[in-house]
Amino acid sequence: MKKHNKGELAKNILKTIAGMAFVVGSLALPQLPIVYKMFDAESWKEKEKIRLAIDRLQNKKYIKKYKKDGVDIVEITENGRKEVLKYKLDEIKIKEQKRWDGTWRMIMFDIPEKHKSARDGLTLKLIRMGCAPIQKSVFVTPYECEKEIKFIGEYFGVSKYIIFLETDKISNEDSLRGEFEL
């Protein structure tokens, strides 16, 4: 079993359980032996690490664990699904193209004050993904990102306030080309 940083094992176990539940179409699965196998846990010590990580996930109410017909069942909860989405949000990136297609992608939003935390989260994520702010709530990137922007909007629950545009011309293009090294 490979070494995991603090919290990484539990995160990977939760993602594995969520993925298994999605593939099989059921949330309740006899997953513990499968989880041991997926993480190459052969020794008692390695299995104990996984069991403790699962207990922590259960304490955080990300999973439910119970026995059914003598088999350990692990079930992901709604809170667990939300946590997996948060992991996906953290991992989402805009892929840089090897060759620019000449199209600028603009992300604009006018999110009401009552959704301030979502607006701040969206702004921070756009900056972290490498989008350039050209106005307070207008960002631009030369790379394909429509799917990523839709996911982020849905995650924060503000999709209806986001406008995504593609254009081949934009003012101050020279400075943007320099910023993106195009």
CATH of the domain at 175: 3.30.70.240
Please say which residue of 65, 89, 113 terminates a domain: 89
Tens digit of pLDDT at every position of the chain (182 positions): 566 666 777 777 777 777 765 544 344 545 567 777 778 877 888 888 888 888 888 899 988 877 777 776 777 888 888 888 888 888 889 998 889 999 999 999 999 999 999 999 999 999 999 999 999 999 999 999 999 999 999 889 999 999 999 999 998 888 999 999 88
Please say which residue of 89, 105, 136 terminates a domain: 89
Predicted pLDDT at 25: 38
Predicted pLDDT at 24: 42
Both 100 and 174 in a single domain?
A: yes
Both 73 and 110 in a single domain?
A: no
Both 76 and 136 in a single domain?
A: no
Both 36 and 68 in a single domain?
A: yes
First to last CA, the chain: 43
Both 72 and 117 in a single domain?
A: no
Both 77 and 108 in a single domain?
A: no
**In-domain check, residue 154:** yes
Q: Which structural domain, as residue segments, surrounds residue 155?
A: 95-179
- Domain count of the fold of the chain: 2
> In this structure, are residues 15 and 84 in contact, taking their beta carbons and an 8 Å threshold?
yes
Both 110 and 141 in a single domain?
A: yes
Please say which residue of 25, 54, 89 terminates a domain: 89
> In this structure, are residues 4 and 41 in contact, taking their beta carbons and an 8 Å threshold?
no
Dihedral over Cα of 147, 148, 154, 158: its sign: negative
| Pairing of β 132-135 and β 104-109 | unpaired
Beta strand extents in 43-127 (DSSP E only) = 63-68, 71-76, 104-109
- 39: domain CATH number is 1.10.10.10
**In-domain check, residue 121:** yes
**In-domain check, residue 1:** no
Predicted pLDDT at 32: 65
**In-domain check, residue 2:** no
Q: What is the pTM of this model?
A: 0.69
